[in-house]
């Protein structure tokens, strides 16, 4: 009977202590705890096993410097390639001369000559054509002359005059230009694009002419195949001042 009383007393003491245990555990359960530090190499499914509302997961810091260095190396390798993609227009271009020196514009100059007025004298070295007017003067024009290997000198008369002449390149010129990759037409009608320009004055029985040009910026240079070229406005002016039979001296 005494043993039974002791057992019942112990059981009652246990039942009295049990209600206080949950409150103690609850206080510990909801208090702030330090975060769990895990490696960033662990997979997400394993981390999720900690429970969504358990404790915050903080990934341990890992070195990111190697990634930065790798990215910098890639930029350095690609930088030269990027420079090659610049538009062609951004690159400097060689300027093209489109005007002539004012010294080659028509003007009256002092010119002593034993030749009678109306004679044309062409100074190929200095790129000038003189129309003798008398009284120690001449009307001077700038001209383009034969390129190296095509210079010549002589005395002829103007045997024909033509306005806006057509152009039939000599076979020798066609072959010579074709060897350089320039293919000339067998014939070209007169007009602004024609190399003979607005007027032509034919010299003797030769293939040489005093004529205009579709490239006025070449006046003052040695660029032709022997012909004497002038600006269109200048050759028109000369054309009106001289006639068939005019003496032309090329020196």
Residues annotated as part of the active site: 211, 227
CA distances 141 to 8, 144, 188, Å, are 142, 10, 27
Which residue, 56, 148, 66, 143, is CA-closest to 106? Answer: 143
**Rounded (5°) CA angle 183-188-192:** 110
Burial class of residue 184, CB neighbours in 10 A (0-12, 13-18, 19+): middle
Q: In which element (H, E) is residue 107 found?
A: strand 107-110
CA distance 163 to 186: 20
What are the backbone dihedrals phi and psi of residue 130, each rounded to the nearest 5 degrees, phi first? -110, 130
CA distance 189 to 167: 6
CA distances 54 to 31, 33, 49, Å, are 11, 10, 10
CA distance 119 to 129: 10
């Amino acid at each position: 009977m005494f043993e039974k009383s002791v057992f019942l007393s112990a059981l009652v003491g246990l039942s009295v202590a049990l209600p206080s245990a949950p409150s103690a555990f609850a206080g510990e359960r909801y208090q702030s705890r330090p975060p769990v530090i895990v490696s960033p190499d662990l997979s997400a499914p394993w981390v999720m096993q900690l429970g969504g509302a358990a404790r915050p997961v903080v990934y341990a810091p890992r070195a990111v410097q190697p990634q930065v260095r790798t990215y910098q190396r890639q930029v350095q390798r690609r930088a030269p390639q990027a420079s090659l993609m610049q538009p062609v227009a951004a690159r400097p271009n060689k300027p093209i001369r489109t005007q002539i020196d004012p010294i080659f514009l028509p003007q009256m100059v002092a010119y002593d000559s034993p030749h009678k007025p109306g004679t044309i004298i062409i100074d190929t070295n200095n790129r000038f054509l003189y129309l003798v007017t008398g009284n120690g003067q001449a009307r001077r024009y700038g001209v383009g002359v034969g390129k190296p290997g095509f210079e010549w000198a002589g005395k002829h008369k103007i045997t024909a005059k033509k306005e806006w002449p057509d152009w039939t390149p000599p076979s020798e010129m066609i072959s010579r230009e074709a060897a350089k990759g320039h293919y000339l037409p067998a014939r070209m009608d007169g007009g602004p694009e024609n190399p003979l320009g607005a007027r032509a004055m034919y010299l003797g029985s030769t293939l040489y002419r005093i004529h205009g040009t579709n490239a006025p910026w070449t006046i003052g240079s040695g660029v032709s195949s022997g012909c004497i070229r002038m600006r269109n406005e200048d050759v028109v002016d000369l054309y009106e001042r001289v006639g068939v039979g005019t003496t032309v001296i090329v020196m």
